[in-house]
Amino acid sequence: MMIAPSLIERAKLWRRALHAAPELGFQEVRTADKVAGLLQEFGIDVHRGLGGTGVVGTLRHGQGPSIGIRADMDALPIQELGTPAHRSAHPGCMHACGHDGHTAILLATACQLARTRRFNGTVHFVFQPAEEGLGGARRMIDDGLFQLFPMEAIYGLHNWPGLPAGTVAINPGSMMASMDTFEIRLVGQGCHAAMPERGADPILAGAELVVALQSIPARRLSPLDSAVISVTQFNAGEAVNVIANTAQLKGTVRCLQPLVRERVQTLIREFVEQLPNVFGVRGELCYEPGYPVTENHPKHADLVRQVAIDVLGEQQVAWGCRPSMASEDFAYLLDACPGAYLWLGVDGEAPSQVLHNPYYDFNDQVIQPGVALWVALVERSLPMAD
């Protein structure tokens, strides 16, 4: 497929401009302005404000069905340490996850399709805010994304360090884990540190609870199930000679199967309510369900696989890859609409920095294969009449 080199070069400039001006979730005002302005330049209808700062561009050609392609726009609260010419100009904020690249790829795809129009139907270009833990996809759905812009399918990609540049990895099922968070409050009885028998130590109960929670994946679930429980915060006490009255633990849960996710929540609640009692401490759990499992619909995943093989070559496509225990709010979109989510490799001659690293910078060499893949997917999904 021929994508004009001039368009790819222009997309690289868009990407670097976005990288230099990152914005956090639900604050992507200037990013949305740039996206909307370019879509209008391409002759594409633009709808703004969905999900707060989201943008949807609609391109119609003929009377065929409708599909959507999504790119995320938000950055992360990280101070950039790399020194590219397009380094972030916003202190404490950078595109450390490649959303600038996703946005540039989708913009170039929109431009190419608006020029060629070798499809029959409607394409919705969904530029989503606040993917990084804030649930921007859910906000767009709640604001009527699929009612205002009906789609037979929706697709998304994420750049993926660890895979060679321009390769695609996709599964017919789970791609990324669910993400739930929990907060545990342990209420004991404070006392003098030299006389612990006169109190009830929530720190001791919390330490035992941290260890016990790790036994859930190891001993309470099948080895064939996938779950990660991570206690990431443990806060208690104000003085070295005082046993605290309360302690607080916080953490996350990641699972690849919805039934396992439900089972883990039940087991955590049992541990919190029962184990601290042995130490005379009361446990209270606040469990917050977050992103669901990012689970592809098999038919749509297979379509992506076929298109990727046609565009990139069979050796460039990994089918049935190992899922990631990281999470992605594209899961909300796949819960509401059939579709598929893929990874696009970015490792060049040297391995890419990992995602969320302060030295990360998107590999512009994968813009061309990303655009070619999306364009081919649209043309395959919405074929011209014979």
Among 131, 295, 328, 364, the one annotated catalytic: 131
Burial (Cβ within 10 Å: 0-12, 13-18, ≥19) of residue 211: exposed
List Cβ<8 Å contacts ≥24 apart for 271-276: 271/209, 271/212, 271/213, 271/216, 272/184, 272/209, 275/205, 275/208, 275/209, 275/212, 276/186, 276/202, 276/205, 276/209
Tokens of 39: 């879509």
Instruction: Identify the H or E element spanning 314.
Output: none
Q: How far apart are CA 151 and CA 277, in angstroms?
A: 52
Q: Is 72 tagged catalytic? A: no
Among 23, 74, 132, 295, the one annotated catalytic: 74
Q: Is 310 tagged catalytic? A: no
Distance of CA 303 to the CA centre of its chain: 22
Residue type, 52: G
DSSP string, 297-309: -HHHHHHHHHHHH
Find out whether 138 and 25 touch, Cβ atoms under 8 Å: no
DSSP string, 23-79: --TT--HHHHHHHHHHHHHTT-EEEEEETTTEEEEEEEESS--EEEEEEE---BS--
Residues carrying an active site annotation: 74, 131
